[in-house]
Structure formats: C-alpha cells, structure tokens
Amino acid sequence: MQDIRQGAFQTAVLTRNCGLASTPHFTGTHPDRTPMIEPGLLLERDARALAQLAKSQDLYEAAIGMATINSLIDIDRKRCVKVNAGDLIVEKGRGRRVAIVGHFPFIPRLRGIVKDLWVIEKNPREGDFPEAEAGHLIPQADVVAITGTAFTNHTIERLLELCSPEAYVIILGDTSPLSPALFDYGVDAISGTRVIDAGLALLCVSQGANFRQIKGIELLTMKRDSWISRSF
C-alpha cells in the first residue's frame, strides 16, 4: 500500500496503480453511520485486506474497498475507447426506452432523443423515480445504465438481474471497474476512469474535488463486442 485518501466527493487508493471510487454522501442525518475502522492505520493493511472492504456494510469502507479493487486492475488501454458514457447512451438509446440508475449531468441531453427515459434515484430530484420503482421500470428498458456506486451499496447484483436479456447494459462512473470480468454478467459496456497522473489525482481528492474537478485522469469505455472480436 502506498496511499489512501477519502475526500468529500472522491476516494482514492494507490497500490500499483491509482484507483478511484465515489465517496458516499447522504442527505440529512444518517444514524447508521459508524466511525471508520482504524483511521491512520489502514496503510498497514495489504491490498487484499483493503479490497475486502468492498463487502462492508459501512459505505465509506466499501468505497475504499472499491477504490482498492480499481487500483489493482491493469487496464488494457488498447482495448478501450475514449467514448463518453452520455454519448454511448445517446447512440444506443435513440428512439428506445432507457432506464438510468443514478442522476448524471448528461440526462437533459437524452430528453427528446430517447422514446422513454426513466431516471431512478435513491434521492430523487424532480422528474426522477424512487429506487422502489426499479423492479417495475428496468425490465421494460431497451438500454439500462447503472451507476458504478451500485457496487459500493451492494445493489449491483439485483439491478443486473432486473435487466431484460435483450437490453444493452452499461456500467458507468468513476467507481466502475474497467474489467472484462463484468461481461460474464450481462454487461455490454463499462465507462470508467483510468488515472494517468496519480500524484495530481490524489492531490485533487485531498482538496475536496468532485469528479468533474479531478485532474490526471482519462475517461475510457470498454465494450464487450470489441473485446470479444479482438480476442480471436
């Protein structure tokens, strides 16, 4: 282990690479919040032990676990493309039914382009649907985009199970592991982050940067069809 940072918006872990994950945030009070385990001593743990924190019911610990997992992935840059998740959803969702788990900045672009747009959020904004509607809406969608924070809050398995077998499924956001292992679970594309300047990214995280403010990163997308075609 080399470094761990958990800022207000982002969590970063530096092992052989630097990995990111979103820091959980809550509206109002959160009575179930427990103190971080052994703050100041986490660097004494090995990477495997920190990665196990991804299973923790404490979401701040789980974020450290996901950032650790992302730091351990050797991303095959040649098998990724620089395609923004929003652009991919526009391409795949034009005239179709689209469900998005998580509220992203590109959502206004989709209105008028897709046939139906269902934004499912734990803390719904105007026009969003509460997470209780996921079981009804996701199975109807032709395109499903799921925030990578579903790994942190342990909802990813259920969300993937809700997707129609014919749906085009995208995992997106900085918490998303850029690993082809996800293709075995019905995922068609992963839009995530590769840190190219660890020192700069860590500095930004420490100073409270949100995802849009972090420097030293590049946004990449890995597609199942491209991965399979290049494997033969």
How are beta strands 217-223 and 189-195 bridged, if at all? antiparallel
Q: 37 or 123: which carries more pLDDT confidence?
A: 123
User: How high is the mean pLDDT of the chain?
Assistant: 91
Q: What is the pTM of this model?
A: 0.91
Q: The tokens 């940067």 sit on which residue?
A: 209
pLDDT at 209 over 90: yes
pLDDT at 191 over 90: yes
φ/ψ of residue 34, rounded to 5: -110, 155
Catalogue all structural domains in the chain, each as residue range(s) with its CATH number.
3-75+195-214 (3.30.390.100), 78-192+220-229 (3.40.50.11590)
- For 141-188, the pLDDT digits (tens) are 999 999 999 999 999 999 999 999 999 999 999 999 999 999 999 999
Spatial CA neighbour of 192 closest among 203, 202, 181, 184? 181
Contact (CB, 8 A) for 105 and 48 = no
